[in-house]
C-alpha cells in the first residue's frame, strides 16, 4: 500500500462526511468560478467598446459610475479633433432601452452614417441608414437573430418606430447585440441635443499616443482617456464594484471552504486519536502524521474543486439564458479562472487542515493510545 | 577475549511518576532481559507492568533512571521514531488495528517510509499473514476477524519491520482459551527470530510459557 492509497482509504472510509466536506468546498469553488467568468466576461464586453474601430484610445467623462452615463458635448469632440496629433474622432451617443422583459438592456448607438466604417462597422446585409431618414435603423447580427428581424422589417423601441435597413457586424458582442441609427435622431429621442457618450480617437501615424492623451486631458479636465482595460475604472465604477464583489465572494468562499475542511479534519483527528497513537507507536514520525492529515485535507479540497469547476461551468451556461444578461454576457473562459479555483482549493485545504494536522502530529503516542 | 553481549533489555533504577509526582507508577525498577530470553512480566493490575513496557518501547520517558535496549540507552537516542520502527515490535491488548484497512494493509501501514519497495512491502505482509495463519484473510477487514485472529494480525504487524525485541502488553487478555494457546504458540515460535520477548500478563498460565517470570508489585520488581 502506498502513502497515497492510505490517504484515499482514509477519505473514502468516511464517505458521507467526506462528500459533505467536498460539497462545501465545491459550493465555494462554484461561486468563484461563476463569478470569475461573469466578471471577466462583463469586463471583456465593457472594454470591447473601447477597442471599437481600431481606436487608439477612448474619451469619456471622468469618474462616472457607469460608462453609459458619460456625457460630452460635440464641442468637446471638436476640440479633441483639433489636436494636432489626432487623425480621426468618432463621437457616439449610447442609449439604453427596454424592449420587453426578455430584453431589458437593449443598446442604441447614434453616430453619423459616414463614420460607420471608422467605428469598425461592417454592414453585411442591406445598407447603412441615411443621415436624414429618422425612421431608419440597422441591427447588429446578434440582435437581429435574437429578435427575429431582417432587412425591411419594422422595429419598435419603446415608443419609437423604425424600419430595419441593414444588418451589421462589429466583431464584438457588445456592438453586435446593439442597434445603430443617426446621431441626430438618437440625440432627439434621448433628449440630449449636441451630446455624445464616448469619443473614439485614432492618432496620426508616428504620433506619441500617450502625449496626445495627455494634451487632451489637460485641455479637457472633466474628461478621461482610456487605452487599456486596467484604466477602465476611470470611466466606469460599476466594473470596479463587480470586481470588488468578486474579491469579496472569493474571500468568503475561502472562509466557508476552510471552515468546512477544518471542521471535518478536526472531527476526524479527534475520532482517530488512537489511530495516530498506533502509527506513532509503530514508528511513524510526527512529520509523516502531519503530512498524512494535510494531504487528506488537500484531497478533499481538490475533489470539491473539481466538482465546483464543473458546477461553475454549468452555472455559467445557465446564466447565458438570463434575459438581463443577454448581449452583455458572452462567457470567455480563461485558464486563470481554473487556476484561481485550484489556488483557492489549496488555500482552503491549507487553512482548514493545518491546525488539525499539527494537532494530530503533536499527540504524544502514549496519550493517544490511551484515548477512549 | 570477546566482550559479553549486552542484555537485550535493561532498566536501571527506573522511576516514573505522574501528576507532578503524586502518582509513583514505577519506583526504582531494575530489570535485565538477556538475549534469547522470553520473559513474562506479571503482577496485579496497576502495579506498573504496562508503564514499564511503554518506557522500554520508547513511547514514554522515565522520570529518572535509564532504559537500555540492545545496547542503546533510550535517553540518548535522537530519533525515537526510527528506534520504534526498527528495534521494537509492539502488541497491545486491544490490538489497535485500523478498522478501515484490510489485514494486509494493516501490516503494510507499519512499513510505510521504512525503505521497503511496494513489492517488498506486499510480499513481506503476505508472508507474515501466512506465518500467523491468516494468509487467506489478507483482504478481510479487522471488524470481520475473530478476537484471536485480530491479535495474530496485531502480532504480524508488530513483526513487519523485523524488530529486535517484541513487547506484548496483555496480548491474550481478551481471548478465549483456544485463541490464547494459539497466540502463545505463535509468540513462542518467534523466539528464534528475535533478540528477546517481553510479555506483560496477569495470567499465570500465559506466564508459565515464558523462560522466566518477573513479578511486580506497587511499582517495584519483587
Which residue of A2, A10, A283 is in closest CB contact with B85?
A283
Tell me the C-alpha distance between A164 and A172, whole Å.
20
Which one of 3.40.50.300, 3.40.120.10, 1.20.1630.10, 3.20.20.70 gives the CATH number of domain B1-87+163-222? Answer: 3.40.50.300
Res A51: pLDDT: 65
CA of A322 to nearest chain B CA: how many angstroms apart? 47
Query: Which pLDDT tens digit goes with each residue over A98-110?
Result: 888 777 778 899 9
Q: What is the model's pLDDT at position A204?
A: 92
CA B222 – CA B214 distance, rounded (Å): 8
Find the chain B residues whose C-beta atoms sit closer than 8 A to any C-beta of A. Answer: 54, 57, 59-60, 81-86, 90, 92, 96, 98, 100-101, 104-105, 108-110, 112-114, 118, 121-122, 157-158, 160-161
Residues of A with Cβ-Cβ distance to B82 under 8 angstroms: 283
Radius of gyration, CA atoms only, chain B: 17
Q: Which residues neighbour B187 within 8 Å (Cβ) at sequence distance 6 or greater?
A: B38, B155, B166, B168, B171, B197, B199, B209
Cα(A132)–Cα(A113) distance, integer angstroms:
10
Backbone angles phi, psi at A251, to 5 degrees: -65, -45
In terms of DSSP bridges, do strands B196-200 and B38-42 run parallel, antiparallel, or are they unpaired?
parallel
Query: What pLDDT shows up at residue B137?
Result: 95
Q: Across the interface, do B160 and A282 touch by the CB < 8 Å criterion?
A: yes
What is the reported pLDDT for A63? Answer: 79
Q: Among candidates A244, A218, A205, A243, which has minimal Cα distance to A59?
A: A218
pLDDT (mean) for B179-203 = 85
Q: From the CB of residue B76, how many other CB atoms can be counted at a distance below 10 Å?
A: 8
d(CA A145, CA A103): 13
The residues spanned by each domain of chain A are 3-45+240-370, 57-226
Rounded Cα distance between B206 and B199, Å, is 9
Q: Which residues of chain A are within 8 Å of residue B122 when distances are taken between CB atoms?
A: 1
**How much helix, strand and coil, in percent to the nearest 5, is found in chain B?**
35, 25, 40
pLDDT for the residue numbered A317? 87
Average pLDDT estimate for A200-205: 90
User: Is A4 within 8 Å of chain B by CB?
Assistant: no
Q: Where are the domains of chain B?
A: 1-87+163-222, 97-155
Mutation target to probe the A interface, by most A beta carbons within 10 A, among B25, B26, B113 is: B113
Please compute the mean of the pLDDT values over residues A239-267 and round it to a whole number. Answer: 80
Per residue in A15-61, pLDDT (tens digit) is: 888 898 888 889 888 988 888 888 777 777 767 766 666 688 889 89
CB atoms within 10 A of CB B204: 10
- CA distances to A131, A257, A262, A305 from A24, in Å: 58, 6, 11, 10
Alpha-carbon span A301 to B129, nearest angstrom: 36
Question: Which tens digit of pLDDT belongs to each residue from A160-172?
Answer: 899 999 999 988 7
Per-residue model confidence (pLDDT) at position A328: 63
Q: Which segments of A49-157 does DSSP mark as H helices, in order?
A: 74-81, 141-147
How many Å is the maximal CA-CA distance in chain A?
94
Q: What is the mean pLDDT of residues A123-137?
A: 92
* Nearest C-alpha neighbor of A6 from the set B112, B121, B93, B89: B112
Confidence of residue A154 (pLDDT cuts 50, 70, 90): very high
Q: What is the mean pLDDT of residues B129-158?
A: 92
pLDDT classification of A86: cutoffs 50, 70, 90: very high
Cα A125 versus chain centre, distance? 32
Q: If you measure CA to CA, which chain B residue comes closest to A272?
A: B98
Q: Is B193 helix (H, G, I), strand (E, B) or coil?
A: helix
Mean pLDDT of B98-111: 95
Give yes or no for a contact between A161 and A168, defined as CB atoms under 8 angstroms apart.
no
**Contact: A281, B57; criterion CB under 8 Å:** yes
The reply to whether residue A1 touches residue B157, judged by beta carbons under 8 angstroms, is: no
Average pLDDT over residues A122-140: 92
pLDDT of residue A241: 74
Amino acid at each position: 500500500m502506498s502513502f497515497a492509497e492510505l490517504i484515499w482509504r482514509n477519505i473514502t472510509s468516511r464517505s458521507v462526511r467526506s462528500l459533505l466536506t467536498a460539497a462545501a468546498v465545491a459550493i465555494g469553488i462554484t461561486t468563484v468560478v461563476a463569478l470569475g467568468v461573469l466578471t471577466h466576461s462583463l469586463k471583456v464586453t465593457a472594454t470591447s467598446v473601447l477597442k471599437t474601430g481600431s481606436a487608439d484610445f477612448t474619451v469619456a467623462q471622468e469618474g462616472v459610475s457607469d460608462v453609459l452615463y458619460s456625457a460630452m458635448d460635440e464641442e468637446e469632440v471638436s476640440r479633441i479633433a483639433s489636436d494636432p496629433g489626432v487623425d480621426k474622432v468618432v463621437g457616439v451617443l449610447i442609449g439604453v432601452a427596454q424592449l420587453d422583459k426578455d430584453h431589458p438592456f437593449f443598446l442604441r448607438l447614434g453616430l453619423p452614417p459616414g463614420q460607420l466604417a471608422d467605428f469598425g462597422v461592417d454592414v453585411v446585409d442591406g445598407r447603412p441608414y441615411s443621415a436624414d431618414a429618422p425612421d431608419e435603423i440597422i441591427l447588429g447580427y446578434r440582435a437581429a437573430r435574437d429578435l427575429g428581424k431582417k432587412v425591411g422589417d419594422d422595429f419598435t423601441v419603446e415608443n419609437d418606430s423604425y424600419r430595419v435597413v441593414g444588418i451589421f457586424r462589429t466583431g464584438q458582442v457588445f456592438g453586435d447585440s446593439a442597434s445603430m441609427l443617426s446621431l441626430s435622431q438618437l440625440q432627439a429621442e434621448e433628449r440630449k441635443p449636441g451630446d455624445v457618450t464616448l469619443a473614439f480617437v485614432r492618432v496620426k501615424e508616428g504620433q506619441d499616443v500617450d502625449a496626445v492623451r495627455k494634451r487632451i486631458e489637460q485641455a479637457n479636465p472633466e474628461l478621461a482617456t482610456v487605452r487599456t482595460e486596467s484604466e477602465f475604472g476611470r470611466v466606469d465604477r460599476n466594473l470596479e464594484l463587480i470586481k470588488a464583489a468578486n474579491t469579496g465572494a472569493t474571500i468568503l468562499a475561502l472562509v466557508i471552504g476552510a471552515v468546512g475542511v477544518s471542521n471535518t479534519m478536526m472531527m476526524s483527528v479527534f475520532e482517530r486519536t488512537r489511530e495516530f497513537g498506533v502509527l506513532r507507536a509503530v514508528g511513524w514520525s510526527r512529520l509523516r502524521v502531519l503530512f498524512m492529515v494535510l494531504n487528506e485535507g488537500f484531497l478533499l479540497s481538490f475533489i470539491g474543486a473539481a466538482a465546483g469547476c464543473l458546477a461553475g461551468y454549468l452555472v455559467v451556461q445557465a446564466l447565458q439564458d438570463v434575459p438581463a444578461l443577454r448581449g452583455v454576457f458572452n462567457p470567455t473562459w480563461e485558464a486563470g479562472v481554473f487556476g484561481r479555483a485550484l489556488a483557492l482549493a489549496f488555500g482552503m485545504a491549507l487553512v482548514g487542515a493545518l491546525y488539525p494536522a499539527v494537532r494530530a502530529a503533536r499527540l504524544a503516542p502514549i496519550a493517544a493510545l490511551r484515548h477512549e | 577475549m570477546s566482550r559479553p553481549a549486552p542484555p537485550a533489555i535493561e532498566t536501571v533504577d527506573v522511576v516514573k511518576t505522574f501528576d507532578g509526582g503524586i502518582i509513583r507508577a514505577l519506583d526504582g525498577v531494575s530489570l535485565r532481559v538477556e538475549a534469547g530470553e522470553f520473559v513474562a512480566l506479571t503482577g496485579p493490575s496497576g502495579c506498573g507492568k504496562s508503564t514499564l513496557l511503554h518506557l522500554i518501547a520508547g513511547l514514554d520517558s522515565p522520570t529518572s533512571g535509564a532504559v537500555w535496549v540492545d545496547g542503546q540507552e533510550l535517553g540518548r537516542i535522537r530519533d525515537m521514531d526510527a528506534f520504534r520502527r526498527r528495534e521494537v515490535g509492539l502488541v497491545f491488548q486491544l490490538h489497535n488495528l485500523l478498522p478501515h484497512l484490510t489485514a494486509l494493509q494493516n501490516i503494510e501501514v507499519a512499513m510505510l517510509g521504512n525503505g521497503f519497495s511496494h513489492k517488498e512491502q506486499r510480499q513481506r505482509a503476505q508472508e507474515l499473514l501466512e506465518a500467523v495463519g491468516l494468509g487467506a484473510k489478507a483482504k478481510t477487514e479487522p471488524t470481520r476477524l475473530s478476537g484471536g485472529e485480530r491479535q495474530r494480525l496485531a502480532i504480524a504487524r508488530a513483526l513487519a519491520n523485523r524488530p529486535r525485541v517484541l513487547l506484548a502488553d496483555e496480548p491474550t487478555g481478551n481471548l478465549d482459551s483456544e485463541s490464547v494457546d494459539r497466540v502463545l504458540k505463535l509468540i513462542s515460535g518467534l523466539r528464534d527470530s528475535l533478540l528477546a520477548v517481553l510479555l506483560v500478563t496477569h495470567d499465570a498460565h500465559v506466564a508459565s510459557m515464558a523462560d522466566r517470570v518477573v513479578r511486580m508489585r506497587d511499582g517495584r520488581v519483587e
